[in-house]
Amino acid sequence: MPNALAFLVLASWPLVSLVLFLKLPVGRAVLWSLLLSYLFLPPPPTVFDFPAMPPLDKESIPSLTAFTICFFMYGRNMVFFPQSRVARVLMVLFVFTPLATVLTNDEPIFFGQVGLPGLRVVEGIALMVQQAMVLMPFILAYNFLRSESDQRDVLVAFVALGAAYSLLMLVEVRLSPQLNLWIYGYYQHHFDQLMRFGGFRPIVFLYHGLWVALFAFMMLGAAAALFRHSKGKAKLYYGAGTAYFGLVLFACKSVASMAYASVMLPFVLFLGRIWQYRLAAVLALLAVAYPILKGVELVPEKYMIEQAAALDTDRAGSLQFRFDNERVLLDRALIKPIFGWGSWGRNHILDPVTGRLLTVTDGRWIITIGVYGWIGYLAEFLLFSWPLFVLFARSFVLSGKTHVSPYLGALALILGFNLFDLLPNATITSLTWMLAGALLAYTEVHMPSRRAAKMKIETIM
């Protein structure tokens, strides 16, 4: 169980956020408040769970705090919906789909002797509030992280905090994952899942070792981008940082994140922006289309298992287990395909005698489809994929003489691989939404659509 310090640190975060907003420019305050809280605050089960409200944890409290501060300080100038009509519709669907889910799941369900209650309207309201809080980093980034300098600030923050966090990661690689236990009084995950290839992979203060490995991948991509677009001594420092973060990522012992890095680094270091945008858009498209490909059996599961077996038999068994559960859960989701089954584990299969869960949800896609149906799934996955689609489409409108942020491609790739990682894992965080909001804002402000560009030319003439 969490100790008193864990709850004290979580409860004190609004004061820390206020100091950040008083001392830093608003864009940097948003960035650093979201990053610091994600990396260092205690993870669940350290939450404040009040009746008829969504749980307040290390992501919702910082998001709500930053949004509240910005609303009172800059509310008159804030934009709550993007220019894109598609993005607006997706945001509305994202927030209001839980109410439709609850209204279509008011009946109890039974598995033999075991039953689950129907959902109540009050739960739908709480879920809508939760969805609104999830969107807050997206809205904040859309308003305050929309320029080239803001993008560089994002990359620098990833590198700076990555350098500090990597030391904690290496401590756990050497001594075993214990920092959360030593400081906050509890262990946040199953210890056996953090033992890989004869050693340990770090978890620090995140939810799982996979989340830490993905952040290591992000800080590696950030360092590589800054190395490519820096000069003088800074280039030397970022080059050394890129090499160091590569070693840290290797120490995280996550095959997926290392595979992502092996593909991303050549694009960030050597290829042009169009190729970076293309890869990011393809990754987003695969993330959105995966359930359809899975349903029509176009996912090469057998080949993937064979390749995993060549690397490690345990990984092959884990992958087979994952595919089997996805198939069962997808079949169950198809019973209520539009708005899903809702919460309380209604999207799972339960043991008819003990009530124990017989299925396991790993990927974010299968969780979302099971809980909120296809409407909820498309609203979520299309919303944070939309900036990558818009970026790819609008990149063809600009002439070669038009200046575009050199950091845009790296951030798009970081987001694209994060979205792709939602297929095997549920690694969606406030950082995912923050990157999506920042990229969408830049494309709308600095990369006008074909129609807007034409109107601008006609106005000048």
**Measured distance CA(129)–CA(132) in Å, rounded:** 5
| pLDDT tens sequence across 168-223 | 999 999 999 999 999 999 988 778 777 777 789 999 999 999 999 999 999 999 99
**Measured distance CA(325)–CA(173) in Å, rounded:** 31
Residue whose C-alpha is closest to residue 247's, from 222, 277, 216: 216
In this prediction, residue 294 carries a pLDDT of 87
Residue pair 223/245 in contact by the 8 Å Cβ criterion: yes
- Of 198-207, 232-241, 444-453, where does mean pLDDT reach its minimum? 444-453
453 has pLDDT over 60: no
Residue pair 106/119 in contact by the 8 Å Cβ criterion: yes
pLDDT band at 457 (very low <50, low <70, confident <90, very high): very low
pLDDT band at 49 (very low <50, low <70, confident <90, very high): confident
**Measured distance CA(200)–CA(192) in Å, rounded:** 9
In this prediction, residue 459 carries a pLDDT of 40
Q: Which residues of 199-221 are buried (b: 16+ CB within 10 A; e: fewer)?
A: ebbbbbbbbbbbbbbbbbbbbbb
- Of 59-63, 274-278, 351-355, 388-392, where does mean pLDDT reach its minimum? 351-355
Residue 301 CB neighbour total at 10 angstroms: 17
- Mean pLDDT (whole number) for 274-300: 92
pLDDT band at 449 (very low <50, low <70, confident <90, very high): low
398 has pLDDT over 70: no
**Measured distance CA(453)–CA(221) in Å, rounded:** 31
pTM for this entry: 0.93
pLDDT band at 400 (very low <50, low <70, confident <90, very high): low
Average pLDDT value for the chain: 91
**Measured distance CA(314)–CA(196) in Å, rounded:** 10
Tokens in use for 26? 């608003």
| pLDDT tens sequence across 86-101 | 999 999 999 999 999 9
